[in-house]
Structure 1
Amino acid sequence: MSRIFRFELLRSNAPALAVLLLAAGLAGLALGGNLESTAWHTFAYVHSASMFLLLPLALAGGAVLGRREKRTKADELLASTPRPRGQRLLPGLLALGVAVAVGHLVVFVGGAVWLLTTGTYASAVTVLWPLTGVLVLAGGAWMGLAAGRAWGSPLVPPLVAVLGLVLQLGFSEIGPPGEPTYLENLSMLAQPPSYAWEAITGRALLGYAVLGAGLIGTGFLLAAGRNWIPRVAAVVLLGVAGTVAAIVPGRTADTHYRVDAGAQKLVCADGTPQVCVTAAHAQMLDDAAPRVREGMKFLAKLPSAQTRAVEWRADKVYVPGESDWSSTGATRPEPGTVNFDLSDQIGPALTENVVLAAGTLWNGCQGGQDLVAAHAVGAWLMGKDELTGVDDGLSYFPEMKKQVPEVVRQLRALPEKEQIRRVVAVREASLACQEDLLPLLTGKSSS
């Protein structure tokens, strides 16, 4: 058996399939602009999402091997041998499994090594994600082999690849727009995590594992079965596995992802004022600290200014469609501390991000933010008429954005002490979760 397996591993299309999956995985990362991803959980998701294209390729690769006996006109000869069909097919099936494992895992291992050399946070549990992906890809290859054995047409490999892609698209799009469904769990294009500290849950991993095991068992039964009994068993197995894989992971983001406490631990830069980021963004600290401290210098113009800056983080998983503050249970800043937002890539407006609303925009309050007042205060602190490059939603409201320069000009026309008093009033009101801040700047407040 081992000699035949080595033969299949070297002489079948398994090596070609491994190279194809490896190239497709790298191309998916490159075309998506994710080769420079610096967040462990984000990279794990992007790598897993490549299975959306790798699964059809695995189906096609299995179908190519499944056609071999009919293509070489050796099917009748091999069928006359006394060896059980399952035993005869097993070396080829195992060779396909090794091929998809190599093609899928090499990309992950390469990316993991690169991330670890940059000092980024990593979690060993996340390694289970690509391992369950191997089960799904192996199952796809075995299903393709069964299809190739059933129909010897050269059109079978491209047809099963297209079918695999269409089914995944169908599972993703079924249901009302914006409302997640259970069938989406059968598509490899899963919803992405929203933040770098969101890790995949055990139930989502279980869904992938059950689906992969179901595809493997179904493919084997269909390929090796000689009568209707194993074929009916294969259909039942696929139905049960598909149902479990669809239901167990749930439908919402907070059933697919969890907050990784280790990824949220704070890592602080040397020097003062103190600047801290989450472990998930630790490799960005050296670049972020100078920009954050620049913002802290502007905040120091105010009395009782904050003396510490900490990256904003949440204690719940973000649910798409809800505001960051109301759906994530965002942490409230400690006294004298600025919360700032830091995405996976440091933007050019990180300093501006710090001074928004006098360092209180990311205040952890549940409710909307007065972005006009927040921008006006930030622009006043930086000596500008308006802030540019800040991606906080104000750009989607041109009429509101036009108000900012006028509010800043009106504020600067006041005596200096009055300017400072109003800006401090906005800061304190924002920390107290007051939503209507603009009247405090314009002097139209009833208080």
Structure 2
Amino acid sequence: MTDYDTVGDGVSTAQALWMVAVAMAGVVLFAVRKRKFVFAALLPLAIGATATALVAPTGAAYDRQTLDPVAQKLVCTAGAPKVCVSRAHEGVLPEVVPKARHALELLSATPLVEAHEDTSTIFPPTSPRPRADTVLMAITIDKHGHLADPDRLEPRMLTEVFTGPLNCENTRNIEAATAAAAWLLDREPTTGFNGFEFDVPETARLFKGLTALPPAEAGARVTALYQAARKCRATTGLLTRSAR
């Protein structure tokens, strides 16, 4: 289940038919006076069950009907840099905007100028069209309707940027990406990829190496990492050797 799921018309129709069948069975039970006719109440239930089975969507048809495209549509800020979240998460846009814009400010050396929520789903498989000027954000809502783990939004955004597209599975270097994100944020890399809590010695080593460099050199190496990741090129060693 995702925040974009909805109940299709077929499901609602099937539920309505079953409720009618149950109501009719109740009427029959109330109306019959002889015990031997009580089983007549099973007839509307049998008819209702059959009708429900015929109407209710199953399998791939059910998957297609559970996704609400309106909930996936983006709601964006009027000003620049543009920040967008799905309509389903419109309520947390004010919480997301300052963090997303700060992350974009840190990425000023890249072509990224907008931040959009990643509205990808697994069942059915959907994903937003890739854009060279846009960084995607994973938005999670807590039980109170607010942004869950707000302190992790920026590290997750930046780590995704430096990791590269999903189709670059053979060149994605999460340790280097996390170190680059931490250097831009000027904070210790205390979390792993996507906010999972674990310590990675290689990430800590790369981060310390960046902080020991002059800012211009460290920035050049981080930019080189981004450029290589976007093109699915190997990024190993880019943070430890001169970018000149």
- What TM-score range do you get, normalising by the shorter chain? 0.7 to 0.9
Aligned with residue 343 of structure 1, among 140, 157, 166: 140
Aligned twin of 1:257? 66
- 1:328 pairs with 2:125: yes
Amino acid at match of 1:308: E
- How far apart are the structure 1 equivalents of 2:115 and 2:219? 21
Deviations 1:316-340 (A, max 9, x none): x433xxxxxxx63321331211111
Aligned twin of 1:216? 23
TM norm structure 1: 0.44
Q: 1:307 to 1:359 in 2, by over 3 A?
A: farther
Aligned twin of 1:275? 83
Amino acid at match of 1:383: D
TM norm structure 2: 0.74
Q: Which runs of 5+ in 2 are unaligned?
A: none
- How far apart are the structure 2 equivalents of 1:415 and 1:404? 19
Q: 1:275 to 1:393 in 2, by over 3 A?
A: closer
Could you tell me how far 1:194 is from its partner in structure 2? 1.0
Aligned twin of 1:392? 194
RMSD: 3.6
Alignment of 1:4-83 (within 5 A): none
Aligned twin of 1:309? 115
Aligned twin of 1:234? 41
- How far apart are the structure 2 equivalents of 1:426 and 1:231? 76
- 1:275–1:310 Cα contact (<8 Å) kept: yes
- How far apart are the structure 2 equivalents of 1:330 and 1:209? 33
Aligned twin of 2:8? 201
Amino acid at match of 1:392: N
Please identify, of 236-245 and 199-208, the stretch whose mean Cα deviation from structure 2 is larger.
236-245
Q: 1:294 to 1:242 in 2, by over 3 A?
A: same
- How far apart are the structure 2 equivalents of 1:422 and 1:280? 38
- 2:179–2:189 Cα contact (<8 Å) kept: yes
Q: 1:354 to 1:392 in 2, by over 3 A?
A: closer
Aligned twin of 2:94? 286
- How far apart are the structure 2 equivalents of 1:239 and 1:367? 52
**Structure having the larger proportion of residues in helix:** 1
- 2:103–2:158 Cα contact (<8 Å) kept: yes
- How far apart are the structure 1 equivalents of 2:79 and 2:13? 45
Sequence identity percentage: 24
Q: 1:443 to 1:405 in 2, by over 3 A?
A: closer
Q: What secondary structure, in the 3-state scheme, does the structure 1 residue paired with 2:155 have?
A: helix
**Aligned pairs, number:** 232
Q: Between Structure 1 and Structure 2, whose CA radius of gyration is higher?
A: 1
- 1:407 pairs with 2:206: yes
- 1:424 pairs with 2:196: no
Q: 1:357 to 1:243 in 2, by over 3 A?
A: same
Alignment of 1:435-446 (within 5 A): 439-441=236-238
Amino acid at match of 1:351: E
Q: 1:402 to 1:205 in 2, by over 3 A?
A: farther
Q: What secondary structure, in the 3-state scheme, does the structure 1 residue paired with 2:130 have?
A: coil
- How far apart are the structure 2 equivalents of 1:366 and 1:237? 57
Please identify, of 409-418 and 271-280, the stretch whose mean Cα deviation from structure 2 is larger.
409-418
Aligned twin of 2:122? 318
Q: What secondary structure, in the 3-state scheme, does the structure 1 residue paired with 2:188 have?
A: coil
- 1:269–1:286 Cα contact (<8 Å) kept: no
- 1:385–1:409 Cα contact (<8 Å) kept: no
Deviations 1:139-179 (A, max 9, x none): xxxxxxxxxxxxxxxxxxxxxxxxxxxxxxxxxxxxxxxxx
- 2:229–2:235 Cα contact (<8 Å) kept: no
Could you tell me how far 1:372 is from its partner in structure 2? 2.8
Q: Which runs of 5+ in 1 are unaligned?
A: 1-192, 320-326
- How far apart are the structure 2 equivalents of 1:223 and 1:370? 70
Alignment of 1:60-209 (within 5 A): 193-195=1-3, 197-209=4-16
- How far apart are the structure 1 equivalents of 2:132 and 2:218? 23
- 2:71–2:86 Cα contact (<8 Å) kept: yes
- How far apart are the structure 2 equivalents of 1:437 and 1:334? 21
Please identify, of 365-374 and 216-225, the stretch whose mean Cα deviation from structure 2 is larger.
365-374
